[in-house]
Chain A
Amino acid sequence: MSILVFIEHAEGAVKKSSLEAVSYAAAMEGDVTAIAIGSIAEDALKSAGKAGASKVLHVTDEKLEKGIIQAYANVISQAMEKIGANILVLAKSSLGDPVAARVSAKLDAGFVSNIVDLPDTSSGFQVKRSIYTGKAFANVNITTEKKILGIKKNAVELKEDGADASVEKFAANLSDADFNVKITSQDKATGEVLLPEAEIVVSGGRGMKGPENWGMIEELAKTLGAATGCSKPVSDMGWRPHHEHVGQTGVKVSPQLYVAVGISGAIQHLAGVNSSKNILVINKDAEAPFFSAADYGIVGDAFEVVPKLTAALKAAQN
């Protein structure tokens, strides 16, 4: 069974979520080929081999340096055809999702996203997907010959014991029509841990009182190697950028540890964090609903507890 995995990269390295997607495909016992688009060093692409790919197709067309959705979908469809893959696997992302949607319509391939486990092929091709923003799951049988699987973070364990993959150049036939959208600029945080990729997330809510108090959230995050997040009112009021907003209408995270500071735990916030492995809540109100969704809790004033916790973590690291 030939499987193609679309892998994304940022700042010179393949994204961890993409490597997880490669491991997912490898765990399906397929013959796994990865495809990467845009400039990245060949050595960096070999990491896909460790995760389980035997080969990486590298598309270096300059016009594809930016993520033009239509063109990417065309490249990937052609790559699937070339290697005879009936299955495309990819990690959930702002680029992967819309690209896969187009591939799905182009190839009439059933596309299921937010998959949390390996497929069950004992009768048909059944996958388990997260629905109702993490509040439930659905088991869905994909009935089309071609299939696209969008993988949620932490669906399988990342494998890192494979051999280096061979890297091969791949060029697709594209037309002007694939480039009728122009990306004028990107404004993107660099050097910080990105929220959807993070293993630990530290979020602050309205209980932090104002943007001037975010220093202690950032300090705690830095100590934990975590990304920072926030509740909706916090981004609505402009205390923090919108891409940090976690919840029903924001980013959905599934880290190993989610730390919520001064967040009440409204159902719409919980929807974005309920697939976290562990949740730690710091809130001065013992009745805050977040505590009933938490694994660990501290009732106390964030302005005292957070600096103390940061200091204790630092002490434990030394």
Chain B
Amino acid sequence: MKILVCITHVPDTTAKIAFTDNNKKFDANGVQFIIGPYDDYALARAVELKESSGGTLTVLNIGTSETEPTIRKALAIGADDAIRINAEPTDSLFVAKQIAVHAKEANYDLIMMGRESIDFNGGMVHGMVGELLGIPAISPVMKLDIEGDKATMAREIEGGKEYLELSLPFIAGCQEPIAEWKIPNMRGIMSARSKKLEVIEPVSADVAGQLEQYELPPAKGAVKMIDADNVEELVKLLKNEAKVI
């Protein structure tokens, strides 16, 4: 089986979100970047699938050269080789077109990625790539098993799960508990250094969503503390002040 895992390079979940350049640019100062947590689930399951049924595992990132340490980490976790498409991933449709053009040529059996990136939270790239390639794209996938070219999976829906059957090739947008996050070991880190990381230039594609400006939410007011012995006071506040009951 030939597997592709697409990863995002995003600020750590505890990073302080701030902007510079008149709110036109993300302030990366002091921010640690990680593999998107959902992509990390996809990668972990892909490594397991490769271990159990053989084949190859390639990781792909659309990003500028700063993303290479993140890509190396994915290689350390267990990918065989990597591709970086040298472009800013600012627009979902643009990103999807880059992935689709590459995937069409390389002919993967299975394409996995996170259900969404944690920077723009679009959750749409898998669906777009699926449409561009004319294959199914399912998300958010929380269980995926493959036998031969048949797959069974569970997808989360509001209030429960949906179980599906389909055949390769397809795309899976993944989330927990599809697999446990894998932490690279020393051997993985050493071998990642010599694994192939190919850089290719993007195909030309229009940007459908032009970023104009970022904005931070207004600061939260102070919390009103209520005595544990006076829940009636809380009920009054919820009723008359917050007007939620």
A162 at the interface (CB under 8 A from B): no
Name the CB-closest residue of A to B118: A133
| A101-B142 Cα distance, complex, nearest whole Å | 19
Contact of A297 among B160, B173, B214, B223 (CB under 8 A): B223
| A111-B14 Cα distance, complex, nearest whole Å | 28
* A-chain residues with CB within 8 Å of residue B127 when the two chains form the complex: 69, 97-102, 104-105
* B-chain residues with CB within 8 Å of residue A134 when the two chains form the complex: 217
* A-chain residues with CB within 8 Å of residue B134 when the two chains form the complex: 177
Interface string of A182-193 (1 = CB under 8 A from B): 111111110010
A64 at the interface (CB under 8 A from B): no
- Least CB distance from A136 to B in Å reads 5
Query: B131 and A106: CB pair below 8 A?
Result: yes
Name the CB-closest residue of A to B97: A105
* A-chain residues with CB within 8 Å of residue B156 when the two chains form the complex: 94, 242-243
Name the CB-closest residue of A to B221: A295
* A-chain residues with CB within 8 Å of residue B75 when the two chains form the complex: none
Contact of A143 among B37, B209, B220 (CB under 8 A): B209
Query: B124 and A111: CB pair below 8 A?
Result: yes
Contact of B209 among A128, A141, A188 (CB under 8 A): A141
| A101-B97 Cα distance, complex, nearest whole Å | 12
Contact residues of B: prevailing secondary structure:
mixed
| A109-B92 Cα distance, complex, nearest whole Å | 11
Q: How large is the interface on B (under 10, 10 to 19, 20 to 34, 35 or more residues)?
A: 35 or more
A169 at the interface (CB under 8 A from B): no
Query: B124 and A97: CB pair below 8 A?
Result: yes
Query: B211 and A136: CB pair below 8 A?
Result: no
- Least CB distance from B1 to A in Å reads 19
* B-chain residues with CB within 8 Å of residue A295 when the two chains form the complex: 220-221, 223-224, 242
Name the CB-closest residue of B to A241: B160
B47 at the interface (CB under 8 A from A): no
- Least CB distance from B222 to A in Å reads 9
- Least CB distance from A303 to B in Å reads 11
B139 at the interface (CB under 8 A from A): yes
B148 at the interface (CB under 8 A from A): no
* A-chain residues with CB within 8 Å of residue B214 when the two chains form the complex: 131, 136-139
Query: B224 and A248: CB pair below 8 A?
Result: no
Beta-carbon contacts under 8 Å, B173-191 to A: 173, 175-177
Contact of A132 among B118, B122, B158, B224 (CB under 8 A): B118
A280 at the interface (CB under 8 A from B): yes
Contact of A184 among B139, B164, B220 (CB under 8 A): B164
Query: A140 and B210: CB pair below 8 A?
Result: yes
- Least CB distance from B133 to A in Å reads 9
- Least CB distance from B102 to A in Å reads 15
Chain A interface: which of B48-56, B66-74, B79-87, B225-233?
A: B225-233
Contact of B223 among A104, A113, A268, A292 (CB under 8 A): A292
| A199-B116 Cα distance, complex, nearest whole Å | 24
Chain B interface: which of A45-53, A81-89, A270-278?
A: A270-278
Query: A105 and B128: CB pair below 8 A?
Result: yes
- Least CB distance from B220 to A in Å reads 6
Interface string of B194-236 (1 = CB under 8 A from A): 0000000000001111111111110011011111100110110
Beta-carbon contacts under 8 Å, A261-302 to B: 267-268, 271, 274, 277-278, 280-281, 291-301
- Least CB distance from B97 to A in Å reads 8
| A191-B214 Cα distance, complex, nearest whole Å | 40
- Least CB distance from B110 to A in Å reads 14
- Least CB distance from A194 to B in Å reads 5
| A178-B244 Cα distance, complex, nearest whole Å | 44
Query: A94 and B38: CB pair below 8 A?
Result: no
B239 at the interface (CB under 8 A from A): yes
- Least CB distance from A90 to B in Å reads 12
* A-chain residues with CB within 8 Å of residue B162 when the two chains form the complex: 67, 183, 185-186
**14 pairs, A vs B, C-beta closer than 8 Å:** A101-B128, A103-B131, A105-B128, A113-B121, A142-B209, A143-B209, A182-B164, A183-B164, A249-B37, A295-B223, A296-B238, A297-B226, A304-B228, A309-B235
- 8 extra interface residue pairs, beta carbon distance < 8 Å, beyond A97-B123, A112-B209, A185-B162: A73-B131, A98-B127, A102-B127, A141-B212, A186-B163, A256-B242, A296-B224, A296-B225
| Chain A interfacial positions (CB closer than 8 Å to B) | 10, 67, 69-70, 73, 93-95, 97-106, 108-114, 126, 128, 130-144, 177, 180-189, 192, 194-197, 199-200, 224, 236, 241-243, 248-249, 252, 256-257, 267-268, 271, 274, 277-278, 280-281, 291-301, 304-305, 308-309, 312-313, 316
